[in-house]
A and B are shown apart, each in its own frame.
Chain A
Amino acid sequence: MEKLIILGSGPAGCTAAIYAARAGIVPILLAGPLPGGLLTQTPKIENYPGFPDPISGFDLTDAMLRQAELQGARVRYQSAKSLQLDGTTKKITLDDGSLLETRTVILALGAQHKPLPSQGKARLQGSGISYCATCDGAFYRQQAVALAGNGSAALNEALYLSALASEVHLLVPAPTLKGPRVLLDRVSQSTNIIVHLRTRPADTVADDDGKLTQVVMEDLSTRERIPLACKGLFVALGFQPDTSLLHDTGIALDDDGYIKLVAPERTLTSLPGVFAAGDCTDPRYKQAVIAAASGAKAALDAADFLRENNSPSTQG
């Protein structure tokens, strides 16, 4: 029987693992479907304290994973397939069919990209549509691309792409561009990012080989459709919590699928012994540093729970 299993290995999961290991609760850190989480897609991070020189999301999460291992956490590059979280023994079935049992769980499941609405849940990828500019930008060197989205992540991706592509058409559904001032300034100073406000990608046109040749942009005010000659369409329409694993587990979720935390300033979920941290609990901020901090809280909450439910005489 394990004391603690942490699901997810982004900033929240890794920080939880570091704090738990140091509290003497050697946890298993299940790295999950994308080890390091979505942050691994971020080309350049300039707002994580302690890293004055820009660091890539991969390098930052890789350092966090190494730190968790150095502190004693056991990192497993596997995912949970199903969860039984009620009762005093929590059961986690892994994707290779093996079963783990544990007394406490920290859910640090993170977020995933919101898909293009026109395509519903079936994400069209690999034929010119991409959800990861750092992964795929290099395939579009000196070619025109479109990027749908707004906000910090979208601006970061537009700036990354602008260094590779000949031009970047930024399709912004809102009437204004949103994001940190420093990024807004860089976008406005860029010579090859063309901002189209109140627009969305309505359709794509491909050649006989299935390669994208056009993105059809819709003006949301006039409903006019304007074809843009583009070889790629990047999607940065925001994030949704990656909590589909939790349906029917008894963990309370809000209408948008975020895990409900049941005590102010703490990380307790609706089930005793199950804690949650990071973007899967955070509809608002979605910042690595906030996810990391909430991971630390979850580890301390789990440590308290184990102490209180083990030998009450040692409390405090």
Chain B
Amino acid sequence: MSEIKELTAANFNESTSTGTWLVDFWATWCGPCRMQGRIIDENLEALNNAGLQVGKVNVDDQTGLAMRFKVLSIPTLLIIKNGQLVKQFVGVQQLGTLLEAAK
């Protein structure tokens, strides 16, 4: 099982350039974001098995990344394949939706 990676402006491009990534934009003040985090944490093995590597972006610390992806509502979840943004979800997403997005 691969760990959840803390993504920053410094490592974002390099980290997400290969493979399929689920990137979770969140903040500590946002209750639903923390529950989204729990859906991801508790199902990390299933997400990894579906081929997803998982990264998190704290929008408080990473305002530049939030602006780059026009994040105005959190949680926002991105699916990035080999560096290309292929999907952007707004609001808490269920495991089933994330597994489907990995395909």
Partners in one complex: yes
Total chain B interface residues with beta-carbon distance under 8 A:
31
A126 touching B92, Cβ below 8 Å: no
List of B residues within 8 angstroms of A52 by Cβ:
none
* Complex interface: stretch among A77-85, A171-179, A294-302: A77-85
Minimum C-beta distance from B54 to chain A (A): 14
* Complex interface: stretch among A31-39, A103-111, A280-288: A31-39
B30 touching A33, Cβ below 8 Å: no
Which residue in chain B gives the minimum CB-CB distance to A131? B91
A36 touching B31, Cβ below 8 Å: yes
CA distance A139 to B72 in the complex (A): 6
A79 touching B32, Cβ below 8 Å: no
Residue A210 interfacial (CB < 8 Å)? yes
Does more than half of chain B's interface fall in helix, strand or loop, or is it mixed?
Answer: mixed
Q: A33-B94, A34-B92, A79-B94 are in contact. Are A125 and B73 (CB under 8 A)?
A: yes
Chain B window 62-103, contacts with chain A (Cβ cutoff 8 Å), 1 for yes, 0 for no: 000000001111111000000000001011101111010000
Minimum C-beta distance from B94 to chain A (A): 5
Minimum C-beta distance from A171 to chain B (A): 19
Residue B42 interfacial (CB < 8 Å)? yes
List of A residues within 8 angstroms of B31 by Cβ:
36, 40-42, 56-58, 61, 134-135
Contacts A/B (CB < 8 Å), 29 sampled:
A33-B92, A35-B38, A35-B39, A42-B31, A58-B32, A58-B34, A62-B34, A77-B41, A77-B43, A78-B43, A95-B97, A95-B99, A96-B43, A96-B96, A126-B73, A126-B88, A127-B72, A128-B72, A130-B72, A130-B73, A131-B91, A132-B73, A135-B75, A136-B30, A138-B60, A139-B71, A139-B73, A209-B70, A232-B72
Q: Which A residues fall within an 8 A CB radius of B?
A: 31, 33-36, 40-42, 56-58, 61-62, 76-79, 81, 94-96, 125-128, 130-132, 134-136, 138-139, 209-211, 232
Q: Which B residues fall within an 8 A CB radius of A?
A: 27, 29-35, 38-39, 41-43, 46, 60, 70-76, 88, 90-92, 94-97, 99
